Amino acid sequence: MPAKQLIFLGPPGSGKGTQAGRLAERFGMVQLSSGDALRRERRESSEIGRKAAQYMDAGTLVPDEVITGVMLAAIDKLPAGTGFILDGFPRTAPQAEALETGLRQRGLELDAVIDFKLDDGEIVRRIVERRVCQGCQATYNVSFLPPKVDGKCDKCGGELIQRPDDREEVVVTRLETYRAQTAPLIEYYSRQGLLSTVDSSAGADAVQAEVTRLIKSAGRN
């Protein structure tokens, strides 16, 4: 299968990150998340990383042009011909437009944008029930992925906690922000004929099978 350039969209808790990791490994692609890319550029003290750090340290949003520069820098680091999945980026229509321009300058184009759909009530339930190991950061869910021993990590025995941003009132606010930001983004990619949707309420294996089908049929064959 030729290398693919993909975007996975979806609200927090929709499973897009899990699927990006699974499918990147299966198809020999690279999962590029905006959070990881920001931290790497900052750690390496690159020019774009230093710019991003100024906003991160001040607790303000990183501007569109800076986060786009960070993601394009991550793409530039990939070996030639490597496919990638952008996870958590772009978040707004201006970021999407800047990404398109940057990819075109590199002789690249998107093959597909996959939007993971899930009812808000189910998203809130999933995130509120999430528990994270303080030691190794392994993730569990008290309903469908519980640890063998309550409150203890299976891998390292560390204490499992609920992160502050996984509280219900915070999750509801995050979802409202996500919906407001991404509505224009969904329309943008729909107009370009790149958008497909996946019902992520199905089991992880069923979702993976559907996304695999979409990836194989996307873009250049």
Q: Examine residue 11 and say whether the peptide bond preceding it is cis (omega within 30 degrees of 0).
A: no
Mark whether 130 is an active-site residue: yes
pLDDT at position 221, please? 43
Angle CA(162)–CA(135)–CA(150) in degrees, nearest 5?
A: 55
Q: Which residues pair with 33 in a beta bridge?
A: 87
Mark whether 104 is an active-site residue: no
The CATH number that domain 5-118+173-217 falls under is 3.40.50.300
For the chain, which ranges sit under pLDDT 50?
221
Of the listed 51, 91, 126, 131, which one is catalytic? 91
Which residue is listed with tokens 């906690």?
Answer: 161
Whether the Cβ atoms of residue 23 and residue 1 lie closer than 8 Å to each other: no
Mark whether 91 is an active-site residue: yes
pLDDT at position 178, please? 85
pLDDT at position 23, please? 92
Q: Percentage of the chain surpassing pLDDT 90? A: 60
pLDDT at position 139, please? 86
Sketch the domain layout of the chain as residue ranges. Answer: 5-118+173-217
Output phi, psi for 161, to 5 deg.
-130, 160
| Residue of 145, 216, 175, 204 whose CA lies nearest to 19 | 204
Determine the Cα–Cα distance for residues 180 and 186; give it in Å rounded to an integer.
Answer: 11
For 39-80, how does the pLDDT look when each residue is reduced to its tens digit (9 = 90+)?
A: 888 889 889 989 888 887 877 778 899 999 999 999 999 999
pTM for the predicted model, two decimal places: 0.82
Mark whether 126 is an active-site residue: no
For the chain, report the end-to-end CA distance as a whole number of angstroms: 7
Of the listed 104, 117, 163, 220, which one is catalytic? 163
Mark whether 22 is an active-site residue: no
Of the listed 16, 22, 42, 51, which one is catalytic? 16
pLDDT at position 39, please? 84
